[in-house]
Amino acid sequence: MMTTLAASTLAEFMNGYVSPELALMLAALFHAGVLLLVFAHAALIFIWLERKVSGRIQDRLGPTRCGGRFGWAQGLADGIKLIQKEDLIPRDADAFLFRLAPYLACIASFGGFMVLPFAADWVAVNLDTGLFLLFAILSLEVLGIVLAGYSSGSKWSLFGGMREAAQMVSYEIPLAICGLIPIVAAGTLNLTDVGQMQVGHFGNWFLFHDPFTFFAFFVYFTVATAGCKRAPFDLAEAESELVGGFHTEYSGMRWSYFFMAEYASMLLVSGVATLLFLGGWSTGLPFIDQPIFVDLKSWNPGIGPEGFVLGSYISNLIGMSVFLLKSSFLVFVQIWVRWTFPRLRIDQVMTTCLKYLVPMSCFLFLGATMWPLLMAMGKGQKTTIWPQPLGDRTVQVHEHVLHPINEPKIQIADRGEQTVDFSETPVIAKEAILTEAMHSPSEQGIQP
Amino acid sequence: MNGGQVLFGIFALLTCGGAVAVALTQNVVRMAFWLIVSLGSASGLFFLLNADFVGATQLLIYVGGTVVLLIFGVMLTTSGPLLKIPSSPGELIQSAVVGVLFISMFFFTVWSVDWEHVANTARVHDSTTDTVALQNDTTGRPIGMAFLGVRPDRDLGAAEGQPLSTGYFLPFEIVSMHLLVVLIGAAYLARAKRQITTAESRSEVV
Instruction: Tell me, yes or no, if A199 comes closer than 8 A to chain B by beta carbon.
Output: no
pLDDT tens digits along A174-202: 988 998 888 888 877 888 888 888 877 77
A128–B63 C-beta distance less than 8 A: no
B136–A409 C-beta distance less than 8 A: yes
Residues A223 and A284 in one domain: yes
User: Does residue A25 lie within any of the structural domains?
Assistant: no
Domain B1-88, CATH number (from 1.10.1060.10, 1.20.120.1200, 3.20.20.100, 3.40.50.970): 1.20.120.1200
A432–B137 C-beta distance less than 8 A: no
Instruction: Tell me, yes or no, if A24 comes closer than 8 A to chain B by beta carbon.
Output: yes
Residues A310 and A388 in one domain: yes
Residues A184 and A287 in one domain: yes
Residues A266 and A391 in one domain: yes
Residues A370 and A442 in one domain: no
User: Does residue A418 lie within any of the structural domains?
Assistant: yes
Q: Which residues of B touch A102 (CB under 8 A)?
A: none
- Of the candidates B55, B60, B76, which has its C-beta nearest A139's C-beta? B60
pLDDT per residue, tens digit, chain A (448 aa), is: 233 334 346 666 666 677 777 777 887 888 888 888 888 888 888 888 888 888 888 888 878 887 777 778 888 888 888 888 888 888 877 788 888 888 988 888 888 888 888 887 788 887 888 888 998 888 888 888 888 888 887 888 888 888 888 888 788 889 889 988 888 888 778 888 888 888 777 777 888 878 888 899 999 999 988 888 777 887 777 667 777 777 888 888 888 888 888 888 889 999 999 999 888 888 877 777 777 777 777 777 766 666 667 777 788 888 888 899 999 999 999 889 888 888 888 888 888 888 898 899 999 999 888 887 777 666 555 555 555 666 666 666 655 544 443 333 333 333 333 333 434 444 444 444 444 444 444 433 333 3
User: Does residue A38 lie within any of the structural domains?
Assistant: no
Domain boundary among A384, A401, A418: A401
- Buried/exposed B126-165: b ≥16 CB within 10 Å, e otherwise: eeeeeebbbeebeebebeebbeebbbbbebbeeeeeeeee
Q: What is the ipTM, given to two decimal places? A: 0.73
**Dihedral sign for Cα atoms in the order A407, A412, A415, A416:** negative
CA atoms of A221 and A218, how far apart (whole Å): 5
Residues A323 and A444 in one domain: no
Please give, rounded to a whole number of angstroms, the shortest distance from the CA of A428 to a CA of chain B: 8
Contact of B3 with A21, CB cutoff 8 Å: yes
Mutate to test the interface with B, among A114, A141, A431, A444 (most CBs of B within 10 A): A431
User: Does residue A331 lie within any of the structural domains?
Assistant: yes
Q: What are phi and psi of A72, to 5 degrees?
A: -65, -20
Residues A392 and A428 in one domain: no
Terminal CA-CA length for chain B: 81
pTM for the model stands at 0.76
User: Does residue A22 lie within any of the structural domains?
Assistant: no
CA atoms of A34 and A44, how far apart (whole Å): 15
User: Does residue A63 lie within any of the structural domains?
Assistant: no
Residues A374 and A445 in one domain: no
A433–B64 C-beta distance less than 8 A: no
Instruction: Tell me, yes or no, if A151 comes closer than 8 A to chain B by beta carbon.
Output: yes
User: Does residue A5 lie within any of the structural domains?
Assistant: no
- Of the candidates B60, B71, B72, which has its C-beta nearest A135's C-beta? B60
Residues A287 and A430 in one domain: no
Residues A138 and A155 in one domain: yes
Instruction: Tell me, yes or no, if A56 comes closer than 8 A to chain B by beta carbon.
Output: no
Q: Which residues of B touch A147 (CB under 8 A)?
A: 29, 33, 71
Domain positions in chain B: 1-88, 129-206
CA distances from residue A116 to A96, A129, A268, A284, B78 in whole angstroms, order as listed: 32, 11, 8, 20, 38
User: Does residue A24 lie within any of the structural domains?
Assistant: no
Residues A301 and A447 in one domain: no
Question: Residue A437 belongs to what domain range?
Answer: 410-448
Contact of B41 with B14, CB cutoff 8 Å: yes
Number of domains in chain A: 2
B152–A25 C-beta distance less than 8 A: no
